Amino acid sequence: MANILHIDTSPRGERSISRALTSEFVTSWKDTHSGVNVTYRDLGRNPVPHVDESWIAAAFTPVEAHTPELTEAIKVSNELVDEFLAADYYVFGVPMYNLSIPSTFKAYIDQIVRVGRTFAITENGYQGLVDSSKKVLIITSRGGTFPPGTPYEVYDQQEPYLRILLGFIGLTDVTFIHADSLNLGDEPRQKSLAAAKDAIAQLVNNW
């Protein structure tokens, strides 16, 4: 059975483009593939805690030396990491906020990117511990557009960061679908949404 971890990060409900598109993909995937189990996490409505001092102490203290307080401090992170590692596929809906990702998604990333769990430090440098055969789909929603090779490309601090971060923990098979130009008028908006939906339909059969 294939396990999909589906995460939405927008605080919006029915008005969220990224939510609508991730839902469209996951629904279509389930309709065309048998034996699919989906774990859903809504970070936009139910954010995870930010890293604090107790978390740091727990993360860098051997488990056998954990006090009850340290065990409690790292409990949520352990649950999130276990859930993350159990997935075979990842579908993330990520709106662009101020050229990057929502703080709710950054808080989640900080909870799951942990030495000894999702990456290691070796004599040869950093090593991702997540199975590199797993696939990631990230669907973004953006008010503007940042085409490669244009002066606007440098403003995209979303895709480059996520590619580097996911590669850092071992995930290199990453696909992005950008629903962009959403604030540039009705015609560019509708054209971009149609292109995103076409990309989703194609990926369902080839992912």
pLDDT digits (tens, 9 = 90+) for 129-169: 999 999 999 999 999 999 999 999 999 999 999 999 999 99
Rounded to whole angstroms, the maximal C-alpha distance in the chain is 60
Residue written as tokens 């030396």? Answer: 65
User: Across residues 38-48, what is the average pLDDT?
Assistant: 97
Return d(Cα 182, Cα 191) in angstroms, integer: 10
Domain enclosing residue 25, as ranges: 2-204
Q: Kindly indicate the confidence band of residue 14, based on its pLDDT and cuts at 50, 70 and 90.
A: confident
Pairing, β 119-122 against β 125-128: antiparallel
38 SS3 class? strand
- 195 sits in the region (left: phi over 0; alpha: psi -120 to 50; else beta) called alpha
Smallest CA-to-CA distance from 51 within 70, 67, 74 is with 74
Return d(Cα 54, Cα 63) in angstroms, integer: 14
Pairing, β 36-42 against β 89-95: unpaired
Q: What is the DSSP letter of 46?
A: S
User: Across residues 23-50, what is the average pLDDT?
Assistant: 95
In the chain the first and final C-alpha atoms are separated, in Å, by 15
According to the model, what pLDDT value does residue 170 have?
A: 98
Q: Kindly indicate the confidence band of residue 207, based on its pLDDT and cuts at 50, 70 and 90.
A: confident
Backbone φ and ψ for 104, nearest 5 degrees, come out as: -65, -35
Number of domains present in the structure of the chain = 1
- Between the CA of residue 98 and those of 101, 102, 103, 129, 144, what are the distances in Å? 8, 9, 11, 31, 11
- pLDDT tens per residue across span 51-103: 999 999 999 999 999 999 999 999 999 999 999 999 999 999 999 999 999 99
- pLDDT tens per residue across span 168-190: 999 999 999 999 999 999 999 99
Give the Cβ contact number of residue 123 at 10 Å.
Answer: 4
Contacts of 36 (CB under 8 A, 6+ apart): 1, 2, 4, 29, 30
> Residue 142 belongs to a domain with what CATH number?
3.40.50.360
Q: Kindly indicate the confidence band of residue 1, based on its pLDDT and cuts at 50, 70 and 90.
A: confident
Q: What is the DSSP letter of 104?
A: H
